[in-house]
Amino acid sequence: MTSKNPCFRAIFCSVRIKELETLDAFDEALADGLHKLRGYHLQSLDLTGRARELSGINVAGGVFLGCRFAPGEGPGTEIDVRRRGGLVFPTVPDVPFDPYRARLYSPDELYAGLEDGYSATPDAIAYAWSLQPRAVDRTLAAALHDHAIDDALEEFVEGRELVGVLGGHALARDEPGYREAAVLGRELATQFTVATGGGPGAMEAANLGAWMAGHDESALDEAIAVLAAAPHFADDLSAWARAAFTVRERWAHPRRDPSADQQPGPNGRDSLGIPTWFYGHEPPNPLASVIAKYFSNATREDVLLKVCRRGLVFLPGAAGTVQEIFQAACANYYAQAPSVVPMVLVGVEHWTREVGVWELLRSLGADRAFGARLDLVDSTAEVLPLLAQRRGDLG
């Protein structure tokens, strides 16, 4: 988990941190001549079968995050590694997740065991754990987990142009607005990586659109028909999730890398979901390619807005969407011109009459760079041309 904090870099500028997140990567590094671990982070590795290798290299200054070692006190065990200067962050007992995980979640991982009902899945079990009284060890485990997700997300975002699609979670799969959001996600995925809050409703629809971007519109309509058989998660969460996995299986995409743990979207167009167990009663939608799920909602909302540098699209929503609008507006209001993120609100009637935020936003943006990258449109078809233009403006 490499810190990107500039103070950290200034202090440790002489050490370039390298992460070893799989046993294969560790073995390859050894084969390439690795003989000392200073400057390396080994993350959540099962090293019980690597005692001989560990005993033969200089472990001083190496950081072991949640790794498991061979038992006992001999060479290559945890006691030996500590004695020789390795910094070992121990595994955290009695938690139903890996606080040091090195990757974002896949839908398959969060929904493992769905055949026995949603309550049997790791997602549901983690949510139940999060509702228990928060003793110090629990708070620490959640914080370690969210830091690990931060690190994995930074790796995912690198080199991508993300556009966030935000909107109401209550939108049912059989409502016209769901299809509109899916078409929007499909169009955006031709030029950007689609990111959402990872939940149901409009968020799921945008992830669906990105997933179906390699297929024609008739296939998208077929997929929506499959999903509409279980229109809302509150009716039957297990059936709702199973319908999404049916869509993933029927319109599956070949992996770019046969050894990859995470399934890409069509033509390599991954989409991202960033949900939270804080709202655990709203399940993560399985149509995002990868899922950055947090325990802290405040962290999750901040991260979602920060990674979507190419634009934020707000579909009709209620209090949660309004909060996200003004959180983004606050950051844009104080930002220097090159750092202002384009904001597009979709639905003139909704954002002017039903939920009257537009006039306030326009007032805040007057005579500021923020105002020049703030748009209100009535159709999702207007969004992609606007963001493509803003991309040209931003360079």
User: What confidence tens digit (pLDDT) does each residue in 300-354 have?
Assistant: 999 998 999 999 999 999 998 999 999 999 999 999 999 999 999 999 999 999 9
Residues 62-115: pLDDT tens digits? 999 999 999 999 999 999 999 999 999 998 889 999 999 999 999 999 999 999
The H or E element spanning position 87 is strand 87-89
Q: In terms of domains, do 115 and 25 share one?
A: no
Residues in the chain: 395
Domain contains 389: no
Domain boundary among 35, 59, 89: 89
The residue from 262, 279, 310 where one domain ends is: 310
Handedness of CA 173, 177, 180, 181 (dihedral sign): negative
Interatomic CA distance for residues 305 and 274, integer angstroms:
10
d(Cα 128, Cα 226) in Å, to the nearest integer?
Answer: 30
Domain boundary among 294, 310, 326: 310
| Orientation of helix 136-157 relative to helix 297-307, angle to 10° | 10
- Do 24 and 59 reside in the same domain of the chain? yes
Residues 64 and 135 in one domain: no
Q: Residue 209 sits in a domain of what CATH number? A: 3.40.50
- Report pLDDT for 391: 84
Q: Which two tokens stand for residue 202?
A: 């409009």
Work out the percent of the chain whose per-residue pLDDT is above 70.
Answer: 92
One-letter amino acid of 139: T
Paired sense of beta strands 46-47 and 68-69, if any: parallel
| Weakest-pLDDT range from 223-232, 268-277, 299-308, 355-364 | 268-277
- Among 349, 353, 374, smallest CA distance to 364 is for 374
Q: Is residue 348 part of a domain?
A: no
Question: Which is nearest to 107 in space by CA: 263, 297, 236, 276?
Answer: 263
286 shares a domain with 234 = yes
Do residues 149 and 240 both lie within one domain?
A: yes
Q: Does 96 map to a domain?
A: no
DSSP 63: E
Q: By C-alpha distance, which of 40, 50, 39 is closest to 13?
A: 39
Q: How buried is residue 144: exposed, middle or buried, by Cβ count under 10 Å (0-12/13-18/19+)? A: buried
d(CA 98, CA 231): 32
pTM of the full predicted structure? 0.88
337 domain residue, yes or no: no
Q: Are residues 43 and 190 in the same domain?
A: no
In a domain, 357, yes or no: no
Tell whether 177 and 274 lie within a shared domain.
yes
| 129 belongs to a structural domain | yes
In this predicted structure, the answer to whether residue 262 has a pLDDT above a threshold of 70 is: no
In a domain, 115, yes or no: yes
Q: Give the residue numbers spanning the domain of 50.
A: 6-89
Number of domains comprising the chain: 2
Q: Identify whether residues 153 and 279 lie together within a single domain.
A: yes
Tokens of 2: 């490499």
The token pair at 272 is 């991202």
Is 41 inside any structural domain?
yes
Would you place residue 252 in the very low, low, confident or very high pLDDT band (cuts 50, 70, 90)?
Answer: confident
Per residue in 158-171, pLDDT (tens digit) is 999 999 999 999 99
CA–CA dist 108, 198 (Å, integer)? 14
Residues 340-364 pLDDT 10s: 999 999 999 999 999 999 999 999 9
Tell me the per-residue pLDDT of 367-388, one tens digit each, with 9 for 90 and over.
Answer: 999 999 999 999 999 999 999 9
* Residue 134 and residue 83 share a domain: no
Give me 220's structure tokens. 């998208």
What is the average per-residue pLDDT within 203-230?
Answer: 96
Q: Is there a single domain that holds both residue 85 and residue 115?
A: no
Tokens 């050490």 label which residue? 15
Residue 349 is classified by DSSP as: H
- CA distances in angstroms from 135 to 18, 129, 162, 313, listed in the order given: 33, 12, 36, 38
CB 250 within 8 A of CB 164: no
Quick one: 126 and 219 in the same domain?
A: yes
pLDDT in tens, 117-152: 999 999 999 999 999 987 888 999 999 999 999 999
The reply to whether 117 and 246 lie within a common domain is: yes
Q: How far is CA 60 from CA 32, 77, 85, 334, in A?
A: 19, 14, 4, 44
Helical spans, DSSP H, in 274-382: 297-307, 319-334, 348-349, 358-365, 369-372
Nearest CA-CA partner of 199 in 136, 283, 141, 280: 283
**Does an H or E element contain 154, and which?**
helix 136-157
291 closest CA partner among 382, 158, 197, 160: 197
Determine the angle formed by the axes of helices 202-211 and 217-228, rounding to 10 degrees: 140
